[in-house]
């Protein structure tokens, strides 16, 4: 349920809770000599009504095939970009309905169609790179990770392209990560800001929507802390369309009170000076493991908007945008089952 400006909404969110709902298939075949063929087909669906997510794709979360070798894995298909993979270590709350996606909904949806990726790891160092020849082939409308651009366009070398790189290091007690991603514009593309300001058209191939990220985490025993920064820069080729920059900061912590009881939380702060919009959000979550596969959880979050901002505490769920300057509180209970 969410509350804003004295109003309230009770619902079963269709998109996500503590984690998005998904099922899929993974396969590995040993080819000998340290080489393997790999594939993943991962479907995202909405428990509330049984509908398919990610713009109606059957396997909208991931669909790829590749070769795993001693020096890394090369894969082809619909895959996560390096932004998503680099954030996994430090973003404590993750793709929760009250998570980072409430302030930048692209982050938990950072995938690209028609992509080629390489990921290699050695002694704790992981290198990653991805290139998409057409980042969204579904064309289902201007929503994060679903229909922000058409697919590959013949005769246009950079239109609707996406490329990203990642460098991270993971040790026993800590880790650091950095990534950069750049999306190019196209005839149907736009950049969403989720703060109540209309999207910025990105209709030229030279238009860019770029995200730079740096984060770190530390862990010991049952405790973990993480923090990071995500800078966004939208630059257009048209002098009539202003450029936009924003900075998103986060810090979180988690602790296993007992082997079956986890408490975690995270605080987020976004500043978009070009739109004169800012917001601060805090989330607290508890999870109790009934078994290795089943858990129940309860969580709450509060978001404070600046005078002109309209960020929503549950942006990942949709339909809860408050009036400008209004704060918003959300609370949720649920059950999670993994199989």
Reported as a single tens digit per residue, the pLDDT across 317-337 is 556 788 899 999 999 999 999
> What's the CA dihedral at 85, 287, 264, 171 to 10 degrees?
-50
Query: Which is nearest to 224 in space by CA: 167, 153, 172, 273?
Result: 172
Q: Establish if 229 belongs to a structural domain.
A: yes
Confidence of residue 146 (pLDDT cuts 50, 70, 90): very low
pLDDT recorded at residue 158: 85
Q: Are strands 174-184 and 208-220 parallel, antiparallel or unpaired?
A: antiparallel
Give the C-alpha separation, 284 to 263, whole Å. 8
Confidence of residue 152 (pLDDT cuts 50, 70, 90): low
Listing DSSP states for 235-279 in one string gives E-S-TTS--EEEEEEEEEEEEEEETTEEEEEEEEEEEETTTTEEE
Confidence of residue 8 (pLDDT cuts 50, 70, 90): confident
Q: Establish if 87 belongs to a structural domain.
A: yes
User: In this structure, are residues 329 and 300 in contact, taking their beta carbons and an 8 Å threshold?
Assistant: yes
When pLDDT is averaged across residues 183-187 and rounded to a whole number, the result is 88
Report the mean per-residue pLDDT for the chain: 90
How many domains does one find in the chain? 1
Confidence of residue 149 (pLDDT cuts 50, 70, 90): confident
Q: Establish if 324 belongs to a structural domain.
A: no
Q: Establish if 329 belongs to a structural domain.
A: no
When pLDDT is averaged across residues 312-316 and rounded to a whole number, the result is 79
Q: Establish if 5 belongs to a structural domain.
A: no
Q: What is the pTM of this model?
A: 0.91
pLDDT recorded at residue 165: 98
Q: How many CA atoms lie within 13 A of 295 on its CB side?
A: 20
Q: Establish if 327 belongs to a structural domain.
A: no
Residue 107, domain extent: 13-283
Which domain CATH number covers 122?
2.40.160.10
Residues whose CB falls within 8 Å of the CB of residue 112, separated by 6 or more in sequence, listed in order: 78, 79, 81, 130, 132, 135, 136, 162
Q: Establish if 36 belongs to a structural domain.
A: yes
Q: How many CA atoms lie within 13 A of 96 on its CB side?
A: 29
Structure tokens at 220: 């010991």
Give the C-alpha separation, 13 to 334, whole Å. 11
Q: Establish if 135 belongs to a structural domain.
A: yes
């Amino acid at each position: 349920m969410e509350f804003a400006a004295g109003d309230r909404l009770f619902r079963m969110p269709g998109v996500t809770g503590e984690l998005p709902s998904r099922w899929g298939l993974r396969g590995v075949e040993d080819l000998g000599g340290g080489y393997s063929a790999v594939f993943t087909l991962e479907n995202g669906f909405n428990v509330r009504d049984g509908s398919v997510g990610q713009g109606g794709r059957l396997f909208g979360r991931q669909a790829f095939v590749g070769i795993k070798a001693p020096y890394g894995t090369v894969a082809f298909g619909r895959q996560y970009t390096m932004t998503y993979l680099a954030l996994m270590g430090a973003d404590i709350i993750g793709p929760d309905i009250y998570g980072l996606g409430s302030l930048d909904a692209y982050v938990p949806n950072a995938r690209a169609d028609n992509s080629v990726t390489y990921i290699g790891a050695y002694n704790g160092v992981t290198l990653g790179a991805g290139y998409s020849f057409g980042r969204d082939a579904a064309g289902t409308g201007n929503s994060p990770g679903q229909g922000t651009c058409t697919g590959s366009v013949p005769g246009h070398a950079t239109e609707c392209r996406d490329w990203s790189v990642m460098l991270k290091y993971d040790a026993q007690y800590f880790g650091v990560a950095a990534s950069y991603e750049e999306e190019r514009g196209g005839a149907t593309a736009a950049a969403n800001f989720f703060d109540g300001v209309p999207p910025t058209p990105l209709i030229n191939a030279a238009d860019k929507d770029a995200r730079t990220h740096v984060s770190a985490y530390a862990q010991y025993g049952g405790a973990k802390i993480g923090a990071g920064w995500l800078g966004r820069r939208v630059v257009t080729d048209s002098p009539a369309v202003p450029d936009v920059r924003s900075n998103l900061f986060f810090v979180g912590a988690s602790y296993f009170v007992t082997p079956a009881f986890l408490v975690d939380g995270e605080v987020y702060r976004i500043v978009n000076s070009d739109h004169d919009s800012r917001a601060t959000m805090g989330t607290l979550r508890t999870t109790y493991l009934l078994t290795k596969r089943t858990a129940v959880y309860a969580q709450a979050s509060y978001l404070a908007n600046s005078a002109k901002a309209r960020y929503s505490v549950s942006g990942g769920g949709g339909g809860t945008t408050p009036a400008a300057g209004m704060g918003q509180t959300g609370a949720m209970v649920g059950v999670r089952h993994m199989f």
